[in-house]
């Protein structure tokens, strides 16, 4: 066996050993999926209401202020760390780590193959990790789509000069809600 192959095999063994996939029957996975749903149920009505009452540029604060606030509240209430991540983030703080990145790539591949990605869960280095994909629906296109109205685009540029979260099509994976917590024995 060549030395390089040997190192590759070793690396593969290490990565499977440190990220063990978890099933829906795992109680902490059940808890995480419920929290991800609560996150969406607190955020979506506020976004919907803001979009109904004014132009999208004015709804930006729901995403820039309410979403991080809901994530912080849920972290406080549940003891899980709750945040949002994306392969093409708008908020530079939404960069995925290695495990999140790997799962987001799997979600993208599933969509590209015509499938519907479900959540991913694993135990990584003593942490339970959970990632729920967020796909692009009609309303998301106003701020993440291919043609964004000039006022909204200008407001986004001002707040997020390094914005990479535009140009999405319906059905694309926009990002994910990411939860992590220490493994309970």
Which spans of this chain sit near ligand HEC (rule: CB under 6 A)? Answer: 47, 56, 59-60, 63-64, 67-68, 84, 86, 89-91, 94, 134, 136-137, 139-140, 142-144, 165, 174-175
**CB nearer ligand HEC, residue 64 or residue 127:** 64
Work out how close the CB of 111 gets to ligand HEC at its nearest, in angstroms, rounded to a whole number: 13
Residue 39 — φ and ψ, nearest 5°? -55, -50
**Of 118 and 137, which CB lies nearer to ligand HEC in the complex structure?**
137
Of 60, 36, 64, 41, the closest CA to residue 50 belongs to 60
Structure tokens at 178: 């990411």
Contact 162, 92 (CB under 8 A): yes
Q: Nearer to ligand HEC by C-beta: 45 or 79?
A: 45
Shortest spacing between CB 38 and ligand HEC, in angstroms: 16
Q: How far is the CB of 136 from ligand HEC (least distance, A)?
A: 6
Q: Cβ of residue 78: shortest distance to ligand HEC, in angstroms?
A: 19
d(CA 136, CA 182) in angstroms, rounded, equals 31
Evaluate whether 123 touches 37 at the Cβ level (below 8 Å). no
Q: Which is nearer to ligand HEC, 140 or 181 (CB)?
A: 140
- Between 56 and 117, name the residue whose CB sits nearer to ligand HEC: 56
Minimum Å gap between C-beta 51 and ligand HEC is 6
Residue 22 vs 47, nearer CB to ligand HEC: 47
Instruction: In whole angstroms, give the CA distance from residue 167 to residue 44.
Output: 21
Nearest to 173 by CA among 92, 104, 103: 104
Q: How far is the CB of 89 from ligand HEC (least distance, A)?
A: 4
Residue 97, Ramachandran bin (φ over 0: left; ψ between -120 and 50: alpha; else beta): beta
**Can you tell me the distance from the alpha carbon of 15 to that of 161, in angstroms, rounded to the nearest whole number?**
35
């Amino acid at each position: 066996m060549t030395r390089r192959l040997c190192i590759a095999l070793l690396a593969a063994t290490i990565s499977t050993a440190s990220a063990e996939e978890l099933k829906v029957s795992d109680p902490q996975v059940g808890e995480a999926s419920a929290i991800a749903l609560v996150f969406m149920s607190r955020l979506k009505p506020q976004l919907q209401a803001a979009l109904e009452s004014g132009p999208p540029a004015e709804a930006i604060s729901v995403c820039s202020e309410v979403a991080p606030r809901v994530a912080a509240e849920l972290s406080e209430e549940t003891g899980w760390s709750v945040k949002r991540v994306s392969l093409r983030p708008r908020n530079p703080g939404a960069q995925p780590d290695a495990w999140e990145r790997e799962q987001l790539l799997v979600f993208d591949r599933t969509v590209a193959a015509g499938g519907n990605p479900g959540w991913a869960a694993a135990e990584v280095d003593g942490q339970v990790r959970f990632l729920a994909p967020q796909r692009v629906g009609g309303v998301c296109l106003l701020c993440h789509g291919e043609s964004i109205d000039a006022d909204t685009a200008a407001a986004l540029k001002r707040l997020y000069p390094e914005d990479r979260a535009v140009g999405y099509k319906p059905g694309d994976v926009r990002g994910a809600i990411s939860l992590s917590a220490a493994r309970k024995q």
